[in-house]
Amino acid sequence: DTGVSQNPRHKITKRGQNVTFRCDPISEHNRLYWYRQTLGQGPEFLTYFQNEAQLEKSRLLSDRFSAERPKGSFSTLEIQRTEQGDSAMYLCASSHGSSNQPQHFGDGTRLSIL
């Protein structure tokens, strides 16, 4: 169990640019989640995959955001035309099996928009 891995750890970009983050879940976990955390707040749910299928999306996930999990393994989260309000920590989590299993989080990607 090597844990959930996220890359990059930090991303600084100019407003209007596109960014992509990667998440590698724990290998045997079939469920993968993306959350966003802003300063002083708890994580907020963005989207959820079971294997390669994206089964749930939050209303926070605007049309500038897209997530994929092409082979049911790693996942990417892309933000197009970044805005100042996108500055946050983006957290990925994975879990195994049924919904009563805990989600295990990566260390996140901190996005800063200049």
**Residue 19 contacts residue 90 (beta carbons within 8 Å):** no
Distance, in Å, from the CA atom of 54 to the CA atom of 103, rounded to the nearest integer, reads 17
Binding mask 50-89 for another protein (x = CB under 8 A): -----xx-x-------------------------------
What torsion, rounded to 10 degrees, do the Cα atoms 97, 99, 102, 107 define? 90
**Residue 51 contacts residue 72 (beta carbons within 8 Å):** yes
Nearest approach in angstroms of CB 41 to another protein is 6
The verdict on 33 binding another protein (CB under 8 A) reads yes
The verdict on 102 binding another protein (CB under 8 A) reads yes
Of 21, 65, 103, 113, the one binding another protein by CB under 8 A:
103
